[in-house]
Structure 1
Amino acid sequence: MKKYLSVSEMAEYAGVSRRTLIYYDQIDLFKPKKTGDNGYRYYSFDQYAELDVILILKALNMSLEDIAAFLKQRNPEYTLKELGVQREKVRERITNLKQIEGVLDEYIHRYEKIRSVDFEVLTYDYREKEYYVVSDMIDHTDEPSAFQVYSHFYSLIQSRDIFSGYPIGFLTEGSAFEQRDIHSSPYRALIRIPEERRKVYPNNLVIEKPAGYYVSGFVRDDIHHLVNFSERFKKYLNEQNLVINGDIWELMWQDEVATASKEQQIFEVMLPVKSMN
């Protein structure tokens, strides 16, 4: 009567590769009952139960290190405790995956919206207030200084907010709109955060984009587009009897994730306005 299974036969039973069983042997997780003089591994029939335990725990996403510790201390009380620990790890991963899903939703929403944008249209509408973490003033003509400001800024922000999927923003004084290129003026970088995350940051780092009426439009980060955009914007304000009532808010809807070309980056420019009457 046959007493042992070869490594290939045990692997076929378990639905794993020979290499996996050999690796389990090498790390002392699941060793054969004996090894022949020829180096061949042989498993007894009753070892399938222990291998089943390993496969179950691995299917529950437990690490091989944790499985090894589990096998050495296995009893009902310990099993219940360790499965509870593993459940908490899974719940944490689910939370993280939901956050990643939310970020992906934001990116996809942005890039899909850009595909249908009419760059010739300006809108006048009411916007709800939003909150942003804000940097110190940045002078884009001084690259070393700008780099230092950005480095300090990002070091203060939690990664979940940096990589939230929300567009990165920029805040420029309203007077800059009189220039040909609003991107030539000093500005502050912005990262949008949900209202409930304001308490995470010191008050001096958080700025509110006020609720109110804004004129807005989309533009590519190209000098020709920017100049034409500014002219159309000024004409629109004059025709609608409106004046700028605050600073220039910008959101980068199509960023370096979507394009390697700076000229293909797309901004939404928003100006708070009020009636001249």
Structure 2
Amino acid sequence: MKKFLSISEVAEYAGISRRTLIYYDQIDLFKPKKIGENGYRYYTFDQYGEIDAILILKALNMPLDDIRTFLKRRNPDYTQKELLNQRDKVTRKIQELEQIRTALDGYISRHEKLTEVDFEQLSFQYREKEYFVVSDLIEPSDDSSTFQIYSRFYSLIQSRDIFSGYPIGFLVDGRVLDEGHIHLSPYRALVRIPEDRLELYAENQLITRPAGYYVSGFVRDEIHQLSDFSDRFKKYLQEQGLVIDGDIWELMWQDEIATANREQQIFEVMLPVRSKSGKPLG
């Protein structure tokens, strides 16, 4: 009666390669019962339960080091404990993947939105309040200082909020609309934070974009376009009997992920407004 199985027979049974079984031997995970004088590895029939356990645990995404420890300690209670631990790890991984998918959906929807944008159109609409982490004041003419401020700013924010797929924002003093090129003015960088995550940040790091009526439009980061855009904004406000009621809020819908050309970057500019006459809007 045959007492031993060759490495090829075990590999065929397990659906893995001979090279994998050799590696399992080298790391003391699954070793042959004996090695012949010819150097061949031989296994016994009662080892199929052990290779089955390895295959099951590997399919459950357990690392090989953990499987090796598991096999040495396994009993019903230990097995239950370790499987619960592994389920917790998988749950966290699923949550991480869902966050990545949400970010991808955000980037994709931004592109889709921009394919429908009319750059000549200004809109007037009510917007709900949103929350942002805000940076220190940035002087665009000082590259060294700008780099340092951004470094400190991003170090304060959890990566899932930075890479959420939502456009990074900027806050500019509303008075600069009359001064021409708003992108040459001092500004603060903004990263939107969901309301249920506000408690993770210090109060002095946060700023709220108030709910209310805003005039908004899209513009590329080109000098002549920005100048024309500011003129159209001022003309629209005058025609509609509106005045700026706060600072300028911007969102960069097309950023360095989409283009290496700065002039192809696209911003949505939002101005909070009120009626010049004092009458309620809406």
- 1:118-133 equivalences under 5 Å are 118-133=118-133
Partner of 2:19: 19
Aligned letter for 1:236?
Y
Aligned letter for 1:148?
Q
Number of residue pairs aligned between Structure 1 and Structure 2: 277
In structure 2, distance between residues paired with 1:46 and 1:258? 58
Partner of 2:114: 114
Q: Percent of pairs identical after alignment? A: 70
Unaligned runs of 5+ in 1: none
Aligned letter for 2:134?
V
In structure 2, distance between residues paired with 1:58 and 1:142? 54
- 1:180-219 equivalences under 5 Å are 180-219=180-219
Q: What is the CA RMSD across the aligned residues, in angstroms?
A: 1.1
In structure 2, distance between residues paired with 1:6 and 1:69? 26
TM-aligned CA deviation for residue 179 of structure 1: 2.3
In structure 2, distance between residues paired with 1:270 and 1:6? 73
Aligned letter for 2:109?
H
- 1:136-215 equivalences under 5 Å are 136-215=136-215
In structure 2, distance between residues paired with 1:93 and 1:263? 38
Equivalent residue of 1:105, what SS? helix
Partner of 1:54: 54
Aligned letter for 1:78?
Y
Aligned letter for 1:40?
Y
Between stretches 253-262 and 94-103, larger displacement belongs to: 94-103
TM-aligned CA deviation for residue 53 of structure 1: 0.4
In structure 2, distance between residues paired with 1:235 and 1:113? 26
TM-aligned CA deviation for residue 3 of structure 1: 2.5
Partner of 1:260: 260
TM-aligned CA deviation for residue 270 of structure 1: 0.1
TM-aligned CA deviation for residue 2 of structure 1: 3.0
Partner of 1:250: 250
In structure 2, distance between residues paired with 1:265 and 1:2? 72
Q: Provide Cα deviations, 1:72-119, integer angstroms capped at 9, x if missing partner.
A: 011111111111111111111112222222111211111111111111
State TM-score, norm by structure 1: 0.97
Equivalent residue of 2:136, what SS? strand
In structure 2, distance between residues paired with 1:117 and 1:83? 51
TM-aligned CA deviation for residue 244 of structure 1: 0.9
In structure 2, distance between residues paired with 1:3 and 1:201? 66
Moved over 6 A (4+): none
- 1:39-118 equivalences under 5 Å are 39-118=39-118
TM-aligned CA deviation for residue 180 of structure 1: 2.3
Unaligned runs of 5+ in 2: 278-282
In structure 1, distance between residues paired with 2:145 and 2:199? 29
In structure 2, distance between residues paired with 1:220 and 1:37? 75
TM-aligned CA deviation for residue 4 of structure 1: 2.1
Q: Provide Cα deviations, 1:133-173, integer angstroms capped at 9, x if missing partner.
A: 00000001001111111111111111111111111000000
In structure 1, distance between residues paired with 2:19 and 2:180? 67
Aligned letter for 1:199?
E
Between stretches 237-246 and 168-177, larger displacement belongs to: 237-246
